[in-house]
Amino acid sequence: MGPVASVVGGYLAMHTLGTGIRRYTPPTVMDFTRSGGALATSAAAFLENLGWPAAEVEEVLHEYREVSELLVRRYAEIELFYPRTHGVEAETSAVLYGLNRLLKPQSVVETGVADGRSSWLILAALERNGQGRLHSFDINRTAGRLVGQHPQWRLEILDRKEPEASLAHALQRVGPIDLFFHDSDHLYLPQLFEYSQVWPRMTEGGVFASDDVNCSRAFLDFCQERGQRPRFLFDSRKITGAVRLPGARSVQQGQLVG
């Protein structure tokens, strides 16, 4: 089921059963349009909606074509543990690479790793940047097979019995965060918990993003409560949301290297 069909189903459930099940139904199409943020169906449009010039976006997405070919080869070398559907989709993959090349983050945090497609893409960008570290969190020791080892990567396996407390303690060690990407438990309350833990640690000019925002209203509610107008990427099955915080993160922002 595509993202539009999913959110239409959420609208019908809400209309039939009432607002008391708000936390247990996906958002509707109107929820996304009423948020005030721009909607996109391509990586290029999404990155431009977040504020980067079209020429810079085109440059990093041209790089991504080569990177995606390397990722295909990597998939052929590794026996995967998770279904391919657990990984981020095509346009979201390009966005992850592009965001890390454009933003030049020092500290990236992602929750939810699975086989490590998103981790691999982020690290490919950080490696080309020549700087930055990726902090990845998961509850399964099988996570990250696509990456294996990388000098700019720290994979931490959280306590399965107390994942929220474990993540909260780990984030204290990470410190300020330039780029956040949620892709773990997509239920309403777990999503809200992660967002609330990360948001105060975001740096000026950073990007706060979440995959699967069509699974619950958590991202929409969180952004609305803070007066944010997120941008959305409608991929083939999932919807990604992102907020770019105001302020210049560094003097290198907007300059590509490598």
With cut-offs at 50, 70 and 90, classify the pLDDT of residue 78.
Answer: confident
Model pLDDT, residue 84: 65
Model pLDDT, residue 83: 67
pTM listed for this prediction: 0.86
Per-residue pLDDT tens for 20-50? 466 778 898 889 998 888 999 999 999 999 9
Q: Which of 9-23, 54-68, 80-94, 222-236 has the lowest mean pLDDT?
A: 9-23
Mean pLDDT of the chain: 88
Model pLDDT, residue 186: 87
Average pLDDT over residues 83-102: 88
Per-residue pLDDT tens for 154-173? 999 999 999 999 999 999 99
Closest C-alpha among 133, 94, 101, 121 to residue 253 = 101
Contacts of residue 75, Cβ cutoff 8 Å, sequence gap at least 6: 146
Average pLDDT over residues 220-228: 95
Q: Which backbone phi and psi does 141 adopt, to 5 degrees?
A: -75, -10
**pLDDT tops 60 at residue 14:** no
**pLDDT tops 60 at residue 255:** no
User: How far is Cα 144 from Cα 147, in angstroms, rounded to an integer?
Assistant: 6
User: How far is Cα 60 from Cα 63, in angstroms, rounded to an integer?
Assistant: 5
Contact between 74 and 119 under an 8 Å Cβ cutoff? The reply is: no
**pLDDT tops 80 at residue 15:** no
